[in-house]
Amino acid sequence: MKPERLSQLSPERRAAIMKRSMEDVSAIFADMRAICVDIKERGDAVTLEHYAKHKKGIAPADLVVTRKEIERAYDAIDPRVVEKLRFAAANIEKFHLAQRERDMWSIEVAPGILAGRVTRPMDIVGCYVPGRRAAYPSSVLMTVIPAKAAGVPRIVACTPPEEGMVVNDASLVAADIAGVQQLFKMGGPWAVGSMAYGTATVPKVNKIVGPGNRYVTAAKMAVFGEVDIDSPAGPSEILILADDSANPRWLAIDFLSQIEHDPDAAAALVTPSEKLAKAVCREVAKAMKTVPRREIIEKALADNSAVLIADSMDDAIAFTNDYAAEHLEVVTSDPIALLPRIIHAGSIFLGPYAPVPAGDYASGTNHVLPTGQCAKMFSGLSIDDFIKKPTFQYLTRDGLAHLRDAVLTLAEAEGLPLHAQTLRERFGG
């Protein structure tokens, strides 16, 4: 890699850096929607037809994870993994419980007019858990625990099975630790459609959350409105904002760590220090000689990555807010001082000892985050995703009298005479 000057980027090059590999599901949207609609009409039969390739004579019961399978999973995985899943779960729960707000608040808008808001959890939510070759038990914790912290009484999850309708052992254990009541062996649009519309086996949920591939994203977008969904998720990405105080070797490894996920992942570094930019490029070149998953990383480096030299820290910060990264590392001499100037980012990692994997796994913050500049309008997953906030009002007769003229005037202006009549009835015509 070679550093590029931010101020000298062509409009096309800057646009390519900004776009990275934003998820485009337009080509597959119709097909995913068709599968979901088929599930709405025919239920479990659609999913059984799809997974018949995994098991001869498959039945609805084969789509359900049993307690015996979970117990076998505990026996199959390294006890240290179980221990650390529990450790991470405790931190994630602690952080998300701290997000709870007051159950109710109210104000007196005017004498006799009390208005307020209450907080209520959803009844049932569904968590999508990636599986097969991309099994991430940490994502189970990140989706289920916030829902539990929000007070959702019923949480279900779906994860894709492998041959023989077998589910990843670590994901099974993570689901049990997190508190999933029902876990189903299905993935892609079959999982999304089943949770969105409900089947004889899978309950209908209020909201579907969790990361997945482009087929999962397209399916979630297709059922939005029938259920709520979290933000559309694309390939992983990192932006590092740094100055001369940063260790170039550490930055190079942080840079590469996020693009080992996927050839469509993205990494960028922006700094006012030409010296640091060149040093990081040298360290990336050194690391590439021995990194695992080299083919994946090489493609991501070529297609979606950049090391940028800004004319000033102000310019670097402006670029940072425009890029709106999923993961943002701020590695400067005083990162806390820069925090008020960071407007758009999914999750912010401050200082040299806060690499992204700390948040991915165990610091307690959530790793289900908006990608592809969606941090400009979406937040990472939190308990807010699992609650509703109805408003209420209580009015006395004097309070309603205070509003009488305004309501009558506006109702009549909008051509809604019965709206106006509701007040006239209460005040004798």
- The residue type of 93 is E
Point out the catalytic residue in the list 93, 283, 326, 329.
326
Beta bridge mates, 108 = 114
pLDDT of res. 419: 97
Whether 26-229 shares its CATH topology with 234-379 is answered: yes
Cα–Cα dist 244/265, whole Å? 26
- Residues contacting 421, CB < 8 A, separation 6+: none
Structure tokens at 244: 């001369």
Element (H, E) at 108: strand 104-110
pLDDT higher than threshold 80 for residue 348: yes
Cα–Cα dist 204/161, whole Å? 21
Over the stretch 43-65, which tens digit does the pLDDT of each residue have?
999 999 999 988 889 999 999 99
Over the stretch 91-126, which tens digit does the pLDDT of each residue have?
999 999 999 988 999 999 999 999 999 999 999 999
What kind of fold does domain 26-229 have according to CATH?
Rossmann fold (3.40.50)
What does the DSSP 8-state code read for residue 376? G
Q: Is residue 327 annotated as part of the catalytic site, yes or no?
A: yes
Q: Is residue 326 annotated as part of the catalytic site, yes or no?
A: yes
From 10-14, 82-86, 162-166, the region with the lowest mean pLDDT: 162-166
363 pLDDT band (50/70/90 cuts)?
very high
For helices 11-19 and 313-323, the axis angle rounded to 10 degrees is 50
What does the DSSP 8-state code read for residue 60? G
How much is the pTM? 0.92
Superfamily grouping for domain 234-379: Nitrogenase molybdenum iron protein domain (3.40.50.1980)
Structure tokens at 239: 């932006």
Using alpha carbons, list the distances in angstroms from residue 298 to 144, 188, 252, 269.
34, 28, 14, 16
Cα–Cα dist 296/18, whole Å? 20
pLDDT higher than threshold 70 for residue 133: no
Using alpha carbons, list the distances in angstroms from residue 277 to 2, 28, 306, 400.
8, 39, 10, 65
Using alpha carbons, list the distances in angstroms from residue 274 to 18, 318, 350.
21, 18, 21
Cα–Cα dist 23/239, whole Å? 18
CA count, 13 A, side-chain hemisphere, 46 = 24
- Residues contacting 98, CB < 8 A, separation 6+: none
pLDDT of res. 227: 97
Cα–Cα dist 140/212, whole Å? 12
- Classify the phi-psi angles of 161: left when phi > 0, otherwise alpha if psi is within -120 to 50, otherwise beta: beta
- CB contact at 8 A, 25 and 217: yes
Point out the catalytic residue in the list 93, 96, 237, 327.
327
Residue with tokens 């979406």, as numbered in its chain:
378
Cα–Cα dist 226/211, whole Å? 19
Over the stretch 152-210, which tens digit does the pLDDT of each residue have?
999 999 999 988 899 999 999 999 999 999 999 999 999 999 999 999 999 999 999 99
Residue with tokens 């509703």, as numbered in its chain:
388
Q: How far apart are the first and last CA of the chain?
A: 79
Domain boundaries, the chain: 26-229, 234-379, 396-426
Over the stretch 254-310, which tens digit does the pLDDT of each residue have?
999 999 988 989 999 999 999 999 999 999 999 999 998 899 999 999 999 999 999
- CB contact at 8 A, 347 and 327: yes
Question: What is the percentage of the chain residues whose pLDDT exceeds 90?
Answer: 90
Over the stretch 299-334, which tens digit does the pLDDT of each residue have?
999 999 999 999 999 999 999 999 999 999 999 999
| Neighbouring C-beta atoms of residue 228, cutoff 10 Å | 18
- CB contact at 8 A, 329 and 246: no
